[in-house]
């Protein structure tokens, strides 16, 4: 959502050698008031990279979009916890039967208790550290506590999900996010794509900012 679409091939190709996955936001204009990318966009990304793609659904009808994302073989499909009641187990099972990974997303106000019935079955839990729907939202530091709680829950029960954070990950927040210790960082406009005029310089600036904040080098 935050990349420069005019430089689609250049940015995707460069980042393919740097990142573990691409994070694609899909919004329907109803769950959040914005419209962004689509399964068709994921098809286009797959023509230029073999790097796995994780779709983040911000939609009223996640079951419909799960079916569409299975059709394009999206490696990870993450549905919103707030719209999963009554269909979570079916969606997770359908995603897994397609040979793909299932994830669930917690908005800042949504508590872990909402996903406890099925958290053992998902491959990833995404913790939103901004309100969903738009880039550049205010960082919600209190949401970081959920990352710590999810790690404790995983350790105590032997669960296999990865913990991902999403929202305003940048030089101002890197230290606090690192201290919370997620497995996956989502880096968007404020942390990467908006730093410099080209993607290579932006990447170098991002890695410098992360090292300055945490003392840890970013390894490719």
Ranges of H-type helices in the chain: 8-16, 39-46, 62-71, 88-97, 144-157, 174-180, 199-214
Q: 142-152 b/e with 16+ CB inside 10 Å = b?
A: ebbebbeebee
Count Cβ atoms within 10 A of the Cβ of residue 40 and give its class: 0-12 exposed, 13-18 middle, 19 or more buried.
exposed
Confidence of residue 210 (pLDDT cuts 50, 70, 90): very high
**Which residues does 22 contact at the CB level (< 8 Å), separation at least 6?**
12, 15, 45, 49, 51, 52, 53, 54
Residue 16 has pLDDT above 80, yes or no: yes
Q: Please report which confidence band the pLDDT of residue 131 belongs to, taking 50, 70 and 90 as the band edges.
A: confident
pLDDT of residue 134: 63
Domain 5-109+117-213: which topology?
TIM Barrel (3.20.20)
Mean pLDDT of all residues belonging to the chain: 93
What is the 8-class DSSP label of residue 190? I
- The token pair that represents 161 in the structure block: 């999900």
Under DSSP, the state recorded for 102 is E
Is there a contact between 140 and 129 (Cβ–Cβ < 8 Å)? Answer: yes
Which comes out higher in pLDDT, residue 135 or 78? 78
Residues belonging to the active site: 25, 166
6-19 average pLDDT score: 92
Report residue 179 as tokens. Answer: 């201290």
Band (pLDDT 50/70/90 cuts) for residue 220 is low
Answer for the pair 164, 30: CB distance below 8 angstroms, yes or no.
no
Residue bearing the bigger pLDDT, 133 or 166: 166
Judged against a pLDDT cut of 80, whether residue 18 lies above it is answered with: yes
Helix (H) or strand (E) holding 27: strand 22-27
Q: How far apart are CA 25 and CA 143, in angstroms?
A: 20
- Whether the CB-CB separation of 200 and 206 falls below 8 Å is answered with no
Model confidence band, residue 69 (pLDDT cutoffs 50, 70, 90): very high
How many residues are listed for the chain in this entry? 220
> Out of 1-15, 87-101, 116-130, which region has the weakest mean confidence (pLDDT)?
1-15
* Domain-wise residue ranges, the chain: 5-109+117-213
Mean local confidence (pLDDT), 59-81: 97
- What is the per-residue pLDDT across 144-161, written as a single tens digit (0 to 9) for each? 999 999 999 999 999 999
Q: Which two tokens stand for residue 16?
A: 């393919």
Residue 33 to residue 141: CA distance in whole angstroms: 23
Mean pLDDT of 192-206: 95
Higher-scoring residue by pLDDT: 14, 219: 14
- pLDDT score, position 84: 97
- What element of type H or E holds 163? strand 162-166
Instruction: Write down the pLDDT at residue 104.
Output: 98
Contacts of 23 (CB under 8 A, 6+ apart): 54, 56, 166, 186
pLDDT > 90? residue 87: yes
The pTM (predicted TM-score) of the whole model is 0.94
pLDDT given for residue 168 in this prediction? 87
| pLDDT band, very low/low/confident/very high, at 219 (cuts 50, 70, 90) | confident
């Amino acid at each position: 959502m935050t990349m420069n679409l005019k430089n689609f091939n250049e940015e995707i190709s460069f980042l393919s050698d740097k990142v573990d996955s691409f994070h694609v936001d899909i919004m329907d204009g109803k769950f959040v008031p914005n419209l962004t990318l689509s399964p068709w966009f994921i098809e286009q990304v797959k023509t230029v990279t073999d790097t796995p793609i994780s779709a983040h659904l911000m939609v009223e009808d996640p079951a419909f979009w799960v079916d569409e994302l299975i059709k394009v073989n999206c490696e990870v499909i993450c549905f919103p916890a707030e719209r999963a009641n009554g269909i979570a187990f079916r969606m997770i099972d359908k995603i897994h039967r397609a040979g793909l990974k299932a994830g669930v997303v917690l908005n800042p106000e949504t508590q872990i208790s909402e996903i406890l019935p099925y958290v053992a079955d998902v491959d990833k839990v995404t913790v939103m550290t901004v309100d969903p729907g738009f880039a550049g939202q205010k960082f919600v530091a209190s949401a970081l506590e959920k990352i710590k709680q999810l790690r404790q829950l995983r350790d105590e029960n032997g669960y296999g999900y990865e913990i991902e954070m999403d929202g305003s990950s940048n030089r101002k927040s890197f230290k606090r996010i690192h201290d919370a210790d997620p497995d996956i960082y989502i880096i968007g406009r404020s942390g990467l794509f908006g730093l410099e005029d080209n993607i290579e310089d932006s990447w170098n600036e991002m890695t410098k900012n992360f090292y300055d904040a945490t003392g840890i080098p970013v390894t490719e």
